[in-house]
């Protein structure tokens, strides 16, 4: 199985995790506590109600992948969105997070963070290499990017 989610959704999920204080492992893992549920609700609401780059609305399967679930069974994303619809706290947090992320230049994002999140998702669903290999590749990518920056190469 392939794990793919638009990069901007990964940025938005990271921003929601930072804002709510929920760790990425909890957000995309099996944890079901109230803080984690709120973070998932905020993310689902943000991803569906606010438009990403190119005025694109996220699909429920894409949202499910970022939450560490299989694309085919995206009921977690649908449930989180449905609960958020009636939760003013989720709306308020989503609005705050959207203010943060709407100014992001997604092309200039930290490749290590994105590779770690993508690798973690692949590891969760069993589609990718072991997590330590994913982290090694991410660090190598980051090193290449930093070296190119110091040489003035785009």
Question: What per-residue confidence (pLDDT) applies to 147?
Answer: 61
Give the global pTM. 0.67
Cα distances (Å, whole numbers) of residue 52 to 9, 25, 60 = 8, 24, 14
Question: What per-residue confidence (pLDDT) applies to 8?
Answer: 79
Question: What per-residue confidence (pLDDT) applies to 2?
Answer: 45
Domain range summary for the chain, segments of one domain joined by +: 7-103, 111-151
Residue burial 122-142, b: 16+ Cβ < 10 Å; e: rest: bbbbeebeeeeebbeebeeeb
Q: How high is the mean pLDDT in each 10-residue block of the chain (154 residues)? A: 67 87 85 91 91 80 84 82 92 88 57 53 52 58 58 52
The fold of 7-103 is Chromosomal Replication Initiator Protein Dnaa; Chain: A; (1.10.1750)
């Amino acid at each position: 199985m392939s794990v793919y989610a638009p990069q901007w959704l990964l940025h938005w999920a990271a921003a929601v995790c930072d804002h709510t204080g929920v760790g990425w492992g909890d957000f995309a893992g099996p944890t079901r506590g109230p803080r984690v549920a709120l973070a998932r609700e905020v993310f689902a609401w943000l991803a569906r109600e606010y438009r990403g780059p190119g005025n694109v609305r996220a699909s429920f399967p894409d949202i499910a992948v970022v939450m560490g679930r299989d694309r085919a069974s995206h009921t977690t994303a649908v449930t989180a969105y449905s609960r958020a619809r009636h939760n003013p706290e989720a709306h308020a947090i989503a609005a705050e997070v959207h203010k943060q992320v709407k100014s992001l230049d997604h092309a200039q994002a930290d490749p290590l963070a994105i590779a770690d999140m993508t690798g973690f998702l692949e590891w969760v669903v069993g589609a990718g290499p072991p997590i330590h290999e994913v982290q090694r590749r991410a660090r190598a990518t980051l090193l290449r990017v930093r070296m190119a920056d110091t040489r003035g190469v785009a």
